[in-house]
Structure 1
Amino acid sequence: MTRRRVLVTGGAGFLGSHLCENLLDQGHEVLCLDNFVTGRLSNLDHLRGNPRLEIVRHDVCVPLDVQVDEIFNLACPASPPDYQADPIQTMKTSVLGTLNLLELARACNAKIFQASTSEIYGDPHVHPQPESYWGNVNPIGPRSCYDEGKRCAETMLFDFHRQHNVEIKLVRIFNTYGPRMRPDDGRVVSNFVVQALKGDDITIYGQGSQTRSFCFVDDLIDGFLRLMASPPSFTGPVNLGNPGEFTIRELAEQVIALTGSRSRIVHRPLPVDDPRQRRPDISLASRELGWQPKIPLSEGLKQTIAYFDRLLATESHELPETA
């Protein structure tokens, strides 16, 4: 193996920290960039003694001048509450941030990996969603800053590839969960697990009949690394996610059963533009990368619940006593 200097933007986030860990385990030098708006330095605590890891606070909307061999661009808030909190900044991160990193890749002659999303399919009319499907996206809704920002980033990626011969890799990520998610990030798995562990009501939006497919983080990172190592001719886009499909209510019931919680399920109005179905067609990833998710939802949830249980216990212990 040739040691490479790898830039990971969003490296202190949920996915980024797992990616940094895997790259270090492979012997590479890792430059981890994050503006720490949603990323957490604590996600990297166990790695900070590694001399091959450099952590830099930086916003990708500002150009940077570094020398690297590969770039993984994971910089962007990914949960609806986070990306809707500052929609203009979310769009700038996807568009200006990706543009800056593509210019860096061009200058360094570096390969660049772009983390896109299943949200580019919108509320799909095709099920499951193959990479050839162009999507059904509202361009002016409250989720548009993320959906359309990621779609624009995909466009720029392929234009740099065609116009400047930049080597690109494009992945579309479906719902992913696991340790190091933030307890307050607003994603469905973290919401349900934290509510169940606290004994709070579990909040379902709508009737809970909408479906999602949940991929454990270890499986996803394996797909990232396989894609980055694939031949230059294979650019993607490629779907990565677990094709096992569950209703939101089924997820809530599994979490209650695995935690032994007494939480009740309560219903709230469905958010605007919330997709009714989401399941990846992963035949391309299977064929070209030899990739298949291995960890079933029940096993992944057990690991995720154990992580949040430890985290909540630590946070409770650190709270000051009240009179």
Structure 2
Amino acid sequence: MMKKILITGAAGFLGSHLCDRFINEGYYVIGMDNFITGDKKNLFHLEENLCFEFIEHDVTEFINIEGDLDYILHFASPASPIDYLKIPIQTLKVGSLGTHNLLGLAKAKKARILIASTSEVYGDPLVHPQTENYYGNVNTIGPRGVYDEAKRFQESITMAYHRFHGLETRIARIFNTYGPRMRLNDGRVIPAFIGQALRGEDLTIFGDGSQTRSFCYVDDQVEGIYKLLLSSYGLPVNIGNPHEITIKEFAEEVIKLTGTTQNIVYKELPQDDPLQRQPDISLAKKQLNWEPKINREEGMARTYEYFKTLSKEELFKSEHKDFKNHIKK
């Protein structure tokens, strides 16, 4: 019989790629999303797939899935600064109430659950690169705290269910990930830079550009998540690309990639924006036999080709028709 998996946040960037991967691996996939930040367009290609069904639902409300369930991937959450600064209460609720609901569902179904945590649990780190045993440097009452603390609570309640109820849990600490299906207007570095280049605008750097990031291509990220779910390891694992680059250097790479002649302009760095971000993936190598395979040059070329296919209207605002099939209210 086919294994059945529930993927929340299925209409999101990462969630939609995970739907594809598990369908290709022979799973029956139930996607769930309330479209608060997800995009219906990301699931159009699955409308007629007999191994996929979709439930439009807010995970902060009671969740009922009929029949057996083998696995749950909890990827429902705003994931960009623009989103979680715009909807802070919903961000906190999906990390707390939503996670509680899904852990309860996993317990009832005797399913293994993997939650999508984030490198933001490390805050503006005082340890570099970041290892899983670093507890972080987070401003709990700052504007970014709604996301950072939602994810930190998410990890805590997940481990509580693991220890108290014996639930099979996995925690992926996801570092900056990019690729096709990212939203141009979500405020993250890569879609922001490519969007500005395609619109003929100057590239905007917040701060002096010396802050660093490490970018992981989506196919590598999905592979790491897949391996973690099926592994026997229950503690948090960093999933990301350790190749670090400054934002200024990355902006220059984007200008070269797009062949544009825009300038780089500088604006004030937002409060609590991390100055360094680089994963130590020693644990993922040891426990999962995983490390990224796709270099930034190749991954960025694929990503740029995707963004070039967007219409002029999509470069500024995405409006899509209803996702009609496979939907249960």
* TM-score, normalization by structure 2: 0.94
Who is 1:176 aligned against?
177
CA distance in 2, matches of 1:203, 1:144: 24
CA distance in 2, matches of 1:49, 1:33: 16
Give 3-state SS (helix, strand or coil) of 1:311's partner.
coil
Query: Does residue 1:310 correspond to 2:309, yes or no?
Result: yes
CA distance in 1, matches of 2:2, 2:227: 16
Query: Does residue 1:17 correspond to 2:10, yes or no?
Result: no
CA distance in 2, matches of 1:59, 1:220: 25
The alpha-carbon deviation at position 312 of structure 1 amounts to: 3.6
Who is 1:128 aligned against?
129
Who is 2:147 aligned against?
146
- Unpaired stretches in structure 2, ≥5 consecutive residues: 319-329
The alpha-carbon deviation at position 198 of structure 1 amounts to: 1.6
The alpha-carbon deviation at position 88 of structure 1 amounts to: 1.0
CA distance in 2, matches of 1:178, 1:227: 21
The alpha-carbon deviation at position 314 of structure 1 amounts to: 7.0
Larger RCO: 1 or 2 (CA < 8 Å, sep 6+): 2
Give 3-state SS (helix, strand or coil) of 2:204's partner.
strand
Give 3-state SS (helix, strand or coil) of 2:29's partner.
strand
The alpha-carbon deviation at position 46 of structure 1 amounts to: 1.3
Give 3-state SS (helix, strand or coil) of 2:309's partner.
helix
Describe the superposition over 1:90-114 as per-residue Cα deviations: whole angstroms up to 9, x where unpaired: 0001000000000000000000000
Seq. identity, %: 53
Residue 112 of structure 1 aligns to which amino acid in structure 2?
Answer: I
CA-atom RMSD, angstroms?
A: 1.3
The alpha-carbon deviation at position 130 of structure 1 amounts to: 0.2
Query: Runs of 4 or more off by more than 4 Å in structure 1?
Result: none
Give 3-state SS (helix, strand or coil) of 2:82's partner.
helix
CA distance in 2, matches of 1:305, 1:5: 34
The count of residues paired between Structure 1 and Structure 2 equals 315
Who is 1:289 aligned against?
288
Who is 1:223 aligned against?
224
Query: Does residue 1:200 correspond to 2:211, yes or no?
Result: no
Compare 48-57 and 204-213 and name the one that shifted more.
48-57
Give 3-state SS (helix, strand or coil) of 1:292's partner.
coil
Who is 1:44 aligned against?
43
Residue 270 of structure 1 aligns to which amino acid in structure 2?
Answer: L
- Unpaired stretches in structure 1, ≥5 consecutive residues: none
Describe the superposition over 1:228-285 as per-residue Cα deviations: whole angstroms up to 9, x where unpaired: 1112xx1120000000000001111001001001111000000000000000000000
CA distance in 2, matches of 1:82, 1:314: 20
